[in-house]
Structure 1
């Protein structure tokens, strides 16, 4: 398997990027480090066709790695995955435009109802754990730790101009500059639920579905603060400083244990059952994803699930064919 942390550090995915896997003649040798090697029929039965997905930019680093590794196992299967955000991905999934939809939050009741109305049956698969990370510039030498209450005071729109000194009078009387994922993002939804408690986000925030825009904005401004998935902090930790929340720093250990609460969360992909059962290449790609998601999650900076969770996902996938 490639050094995916190096790849993440050098080329973080943007929301306008399409992840593609379409192998050539030389790709049949496969990817020498693929963790799925020898685990299924995916290395022996050569398939053809297309697989399409969309969704969360948080899940994108995991899926980008899997797509590229899969090209070695199945060079004649073209996999394209958009990264328009969790909500945007579900919109395409509901329209029947995609075979699977990546999400950084569980599906909403209204989205599930829309799928039911459209006659689309689906299955939810867990991929990894993430710790939503609050970050500031390395030049910020005053913020080390914030409470959830501090975050809410900063991020909720209340008609005032927010200053760092509002949180701690010893901090600078400088306006806080906010960067946040766009409203189609599952990360936005999660932060809205657990921090803002459904109140409005501060109106001065720069919003983007492209996490790389957020990274660059925060890097450049000592008064900036923002949040996104743990892997994006990991890939940029030389130029960003992560903020402890309630005294706990996000790490693999604190995310997996749940100590980094309430900002630890699972990451998902949702599969169209009909596509998975009727199109062999879709089933094969989903199987390959579940076989490799844990190792790829760790490689790009997230936290793998216990093996029994991946085994359960594979059993759920296999049950679709019964």
Structure 2
């Protein structure tokens, strides 16, 4: 009979608990169920351009940690991501341009300090439908004619940009106003960030833009290089001429690294909440993993890794909790890999 006493005591305890009673003194109480440990969450949001890199890193990190950490990655555009980040709603913000003055001030007001970490280079790609046979190359000046604010409702056909092009309606697809790609493209092409016509199909989701261009022979769009590379069977990249008499240059790892794909190449970033990096071991571990393990993933998803020294400098910045930006609060154009490395060395 003694062998059944633990089971009997457990049954009595559960029955009494169901009636809202406690076991009498001397009776055995049922062991309390262990409360499952909460899995820490690292919340990331921001640029759709940087998303493929961070998503790939997050997947690899969670596999390595065997479910001990959860990493969520959202897409609300660089600007949308910074709004959340500067309100303290996210730990890391993906950004396809440097943080702007207004965003720096928003973070300062909210008491959010940040560590700026360049993670790769991108080639903003101008693409058309493969059925487009007339656009062999495009100059920056021609892109300006297409996209400047004065073109809205006026420049509607291809031959209005260049008489050699057909008398056909031009359909434009581009990044939305919350996108860092939109800021960078308008700065590089029009000469002022966010200065653009409004009558085009805009989205922070690059896949929407890819689908639009791939569906219309008269379409032209711009987006990050990874999205072009992933959809090369549906799109054709257009060589870009920095000047009218210059040579057309296609986006590639080689043309970004040698500085010839200008002004369309740019660094892309993650911004880390400095307090979280200092106080949450899982955040620091994730960022260190990102900087050490991302190079192969960056190439795999279609971007250009930085030199090894850049990641070493970034790791030192995280270890020493060095906050702030090496840029001047605007979507700067023409930053080469070499000049970026020089800035990072000085910080």
211, 224, 242: which one pairs with 2:219? 224
Q: Please, what TM-score do these two structures have when normalized by structure 2? A: 0.77
Q: Tell me the residue number matched to 2:342.
A: none
Q: Tell me the residue number matched to 2:199.
A: 204
1:227 Cα deviation after fit: 0.2
Please say if 1:65 is aligned against 2:56: yes
Deviations 1:124-146 (A, max 9, x none): 00110000000000010111211
Q: Tell me the residue number matched to 1:233.
A: 228
Q: Unaligned 5+ residue runs, structure 1?
A: 1-46
Q: Distance in 1 between matches of 2:215 and 2:159?
A: 21
Deviations 1:184-234 (A, max 9, x none): 000000011111222742232000111111000100101000000000000
1:254 Cα deviation after fit: 0.5
Deviations 1:115-162 (A, max 9, x none): 111111111001100000000000101112111001001111324132
8 Å contact 1:178–1:206 — kept in the other structure?
A: yes
Q: Tell me the residue number matched to 1:103.
A: 95
Q: Unaligned 5+ residue runs, structure 2?
A: 1-37, 242-247, 323-347
8 Å contact 1:123–1:270 — kept in the other structure?
A: yes
Q: Tell me the residue number matched to 1:117.
A: 109
1:107 Cα deviation after fit: 0.3
Higher relative contact order (CA 8 A, sep 6+): 1
1:278 Cα deviation after fit: 0.5
Deviations 1:46-68 (A, max 9, x none): x9511111100000010111111
Larger Rg: 2
Q: Tell me the residue number matched to 2:289.
A: 288
Q: Distance in 1 between matches of 2:74 and 2:134?
A: 38
154, 163, 172: which one pairs with 2:166? 172
Quick check: 151-160 or 178-187, which moved more?
151-160
TM alignment of 1:62-101, pairs within 5 A:
62-74=53-65, 75-101=67-93
Q: Please, what TM-score do these two structures have when normalized by structure 1? A: 0.83
Quote the RMSD (CA, aligned, Å).
1.4
Q: Tell me the residue number matched to 1:275.
A: 276
Q: Distance in 2 between matches of 1:262 and 1:175?
A: 27
Matched positions, count? 275
Q: Tell me the residue number matched to 2:264.
A: 263
Q: Distance in 1 between matches of 2:239 and 2:197?
A: 21
1:293 Cα deviation after fit: 2.2
Paired residue secondary structure (1:96): coil
1:120–1:203 distance in 2 versus 1, CA, 3 Å:
closer
8 Å contact 1:182–1:207 — kept in the other structure?
A: yes
Please say if 1:213 is aligned against 2:208: yes
1:262 Cα deviation after fit: 0.5
1:114 Cα deviation after fit: 1.2
8 Å contact 2:146–2:155 — kept in the other structure?
A: no
Paired residue secondary structure (1:134): strand
Q: Distance in 2 between matches of 1:118 and 1:257?
A: 40
Deviations 1:24-77 (A, max 9, x none): xxxxxxxxxxxxxxxxxxxxxxx9511111100000010111111111111210
